[in-house]
Chain A
Amino acid sequence: MQENKKELQVAAIENGTVIDHIPADKLFSVVSILKLAEMPNNITIGFNLDSKKIGKKGIIKIAGKYFEEEELDKISLVAPHAHINIIKDYKIIEKKSINMPHELVGIVKCNNPKCITNNEPMKTRFTLIDEEQGILKCHYCEKEQNKEDVVIL
């Protein structure tokens, strides 16, 4: 990691998970999707950091927390190219990439105003029907929509 070569923009953690290379404008979506605000863990968030790859990036370091893969896959909608590093004793012991999950529950809002999910206190549910094109289908109203067009809850 280049972070070792120069001063780190965000302090290192001893154990936990680092989510790096989040597009800066999606950082807070990731925070909300992973429900970080509700966690008791020590969390460091870097916002608008310089990145050679993507211009401005966000980074999140969560001490003492290892996520299930399904949890991390939820951020694929907003940050499909984020890097996940698993840290033990200040060292990266594992790198993970993010996969688009087959089913998204309670993550995105349906674009159809006449969909029951927009009119009833309930969780939305989408199935990924075309991974390449990023097409999601609402489990309830059955409308197909592009992942670029849906709003994150």
Chain B
Amino acid sequence: MANRSLVAIEEYSKEKILYMLEMAKEFEKCPNRKILDSKIVATLFFEPSTRTRLSFETAANRLGAKVIGFTDPKVTSSTKGESLKDTIMMVSNYADVIVMRHYLEGAARYASEIAPVPIVNAGDGANQHPSQTMLDLYSIYKTQGTLENLNIYMVGDLKYGRTVHSLLMAMRHFNPTFHFVAPDELKMPDEYKLYCRKNGIRYEEHRDFNEDVIADADIIYMTRVQRERFTDLMEYEKVKNVYILHEQMLHKTKETMKILHPLPRVNEIAYDVDNSPKAYYFQQAKNGLYARQAIICDVLGITLDEVRNNK
């Protein structure tokens, strides 16, 4: 069998992204399908990530699979010095698919090269987190009815934010216009702007964040501005309250505009926004379930038709 692992979002073509979104849509219609009745899904979290783990494990459970794994590497042999390879080979004996989160970059790629079973990357250090990108895409698709020709505003930490970089690359197929709203210290790195130019993607950069800047948005993708990212704490003090979204900033925005956030949020979205119909971050997290059900099925070789025929 060809290796069907999902390590990086760039492996997905435009057609494949749309296909996966269709499959996620099927799962949203009916999340409980015993398609994986006899399967075992291993969730190996070499670094804790409660949110991602719960989402993957719920996805597996709703598909009827059994889940094994660990949530904290302290309880595994990694602390005894066991190599990643040995852990992966051992678990491959038991499970049909391995969902793994690792603090080292490239860990999932390496695992996918040595494991006889498919690997789903649930985050490898600062590198890739493709299931997050799929749920972001699904949230955009669902709320806008399309992925094509959208105005997408990315706000906050655009320098270190892995989710915005992956989303940017995945959106290249769909003719977006990006607006990067960030303080100088956390600006979108040059390599991604170069990537936009190479792929003919329009973008604008903004330092200000106010109701006029965001008036044209279809999607506002908020991220957290973290104190530890700043070399100059004076700079942090200056900008920490600038990139906060308040309810009164939304009046000029489109009716259909939605606010996304990969969560956890701290203070970058004021609580008064939560009641706005434009706030979408909690539903976004829920969409992660359907996106992950689709990913688990796909790496196991289950097609969209098979999902559709299994009510």
Residues of A within 8 A of B (CB): 112, 114-117, 119-122, 138-144
Chain B proximity of A134: nearest CB distance (Å): 16
Contact among B83, B84, B126 with A114 in the assembled complex (CB-CB below 8 Å): B126
Contact B84 A140 (CB under 8 A): no
Interfacial chain B residues near A140, Cβ < 8 Å: 105-107, 109-110
- Chain B residues 121-145 with CB under 8 Å of chain A are 124-128
Contact A122 B105 (CB under 8 A): no
Q: How many residues of B contact A (CB 8 A)?
A: 18
Residues of B within 8 A of A (CB): 8, 83-85, 102-107, 109-110, 124-128, 191
Contact B126 A116 (CB under 8 A): no
Contact A116 B85 (CB under 8 A): no
Chain B proximity of A22: nearest CB distance (Å): 32
Complex alpha-carbon distance, A49 and B132, angstroms: 58
Closest A residue to B110 by beta carbon equals: A116
What's the dominant secondary structure at chain A's contact region?
Answer: loop
Contact B106 A141 (CB under 8 A): yes
Contact B125 A141 (CB under 8 A): yes
Interfacial chain A residues near B106, Cβ < 8 Å: 115-117, 138-142
How many residue pairs link A and B with beta carbons under 8 A? The number is 51
Closest B residue to A122 by beta carbon equals: B110
Closest A residue to B109 by beta carbon equals: A140
Complex alpha-carbon distance, A144 and B126, angstroms: 14
Interfacial chain B residues near A115, Cβ < 8 Å: 104-106
Complex alpha-carbon distance, A143 and B181, angstroms: 25
What are 21 A-B pairs with beta-carbon distances under 8 A? A114-B125, A114-B126, A116-B84, A116-B102, A116-B104, A116-B107, A116-B110, A117-B106, A117-B110, A120-B84, A120-B85, A120-B104, A121-B85, A122-B85, A139-B109, A140-B105, A141-B127, A142-B8, A142-B105, A143-B105, A144-B191
Chain B proximity of A93: nearest CB distance (Å): 41
Closest B residue to A118 by beta carbon equals: B104
Interfacial chain B residues near A114, Cβ < 8 Å: 103-105, 125-126
Complex alpha-carbon distance, A119 and B191, angstroms: 27
Chain A proximity of B121: nearest CB distance (Å): 12
Contact B104 A119 (CB under 8 A): yes
Closest B residue to A144 by beta carbon equals: B191
Interfacial chain B residues near A141, Cβ < 8 Å: 104-106, 124-125, 127
Chain B proximity of A108: nearest CB distance (Å): 15
Interfacial chain B residues near A122, Cβ < 8 Å: 85, 110
Complex alpha-carbon distance, A143 and B110, angstroms: 15
Most buried by A among B85, B102, B110: B110
Interfacial chain A residues near B124, Cβ < 8 Å: 116, 141
Chain B proximity of A97: nearest CB distance (Å): 31
Closest B residue to A141 by beta carbon equals: B105
Chain A proximity of B17: nearest CB distance (Å): 20
Chain A proximity of B91: nearest CB distance (Å): 16
Complex alpha-carbon distance, A115 and B84, angstroms: 13
Chain A proximity of B131: nearest CB distance (Å): 17
Complex alpha-carbon distance, A117 and B110, angstroms: 9
Interfacial chain A residues near B104, Cβ < 8 Å: 114-116, 119-120, 141
